[in-house]
Structure 1
C-alpha cells in the first residue's frame, strides 16, 4: 500500500475511534499559521466535554520525535495533545508520553490497512459464512441415534461436560461426532461451541417438525 493512501486510511479509522471514545471531530488537516506562514499541520481537531484536542495520527509506532511534534502542535492552538498509533517505538517514547501528558490511543495492527467499507464487507462475509455453516447441516435428515446425540450436545456446555453427562468415553464420543461430519456438522471437539449451536438449531427445527426422540439427558441436571 502506498504511504499516502495508507495514511488516509488510518485517519478515517482514527476518526471512528475518536467517535467511539466520545470525541467530536471538528476540523481535519488544520493548518497553523504564524505571520501568514504555515508552521504546522494538525491531522485532526476534536472536542470532548468542552475541551479541544489536537490529534496526530500515525500509521506505525510512535517515537520520541512524534510525541514532541504533537505536543508542540497542541501548544500552538492551545489544545490538549492526543496521538493515535500502533504502539510505542521504545520505552523512551512511552516515558515521554507520560511526562508530556500526551494521551495515546492505540490502533489495531490489522485495522490500519483497511477502509471502513472493507471492514463492513469482511464482517458481512464472515457472518454469512457462519450462518451457512450453522444452517447447512439442517438440510439433512437425521436418524434417531443421531438426533439423540445432537440433543446431548445441545444440553452440554462443553466437550468434558458431554463426556460426564453421557457416561460415554471421550474416544467414543469423538467417533460419534465424526460420523456427523458427512452431514456438515463440526467434528472437532475444540470447536464445540459451533457444534453445539448447530445441534441447538437442529433441535429447534426438530421441535417445529413434530415429535422427536426424548433426550436421555436431564436438561436441568448439573
Structure 2
C-alpha cells in the first residue's frame, strides 16, 4: 500500500459529497504556485454556480491552523475557501472561519478503511518520515545567512504569508527564495506543512554540525 492511503480515502469521500451537493470537481491535489514556484497544494478544486472553490479536506476536526491554510491557498488561487472536515475543533476556529469567509462542510463520521489498511498507512507514513529524517541529518548543506533566515521563518510560521511577514518580504519574494532553495536541493517542495518539516530538519542538522556533533558529517 502506498503512503497517503488515509488522506486519499478522505479526499474521495469529500469529492463524492461535493458532487452530491451540486459541485463539479475540476481537479485533485492541485498545486499552488506563486511566480512559477510551488508553495502549496489544494486537495480539491471544485466549481458550483460559476464560482471556483479551493477545497481542503481534513479527516478530523478543523482547527485555526487549518482555517488559515484554507484561506491563504484559496487567495493564491483566486478561489473561494471551502473545507470538508468533521466539524470545527473549537470556538476559535469557528470565529476565524466566519471572519475569513471560510465555508465548512461536515464530513461523514466514518471512513471506508479496514484496520489493516489503517495499520499499513500508518506504517508507511512512519517509515517515510524516518527516511527523510535520516537523509536530512546526514546531508547538511552549507547555508548563506539569507537562506538560514528564510528557513527559520518557514519553520516558525504556519503559512507562507506569515513567513513573509516575519522576514519583511512579500509572498512573491519569499516564493523566489524558496525556489532558489529547491534548486539547490535544500527543499524538495510539496505542501507548506512539508516545507516546514524540511526547513526544521535542515536547521537541526546545521545546529548539530556547528556544535560539533560527531554523528553528523560535514559536507
TM-score (norm 1): 0.49
**Greater Cα radius of gyration, structure 1 or 2:** 1
TM-score (norm 2): 0.49
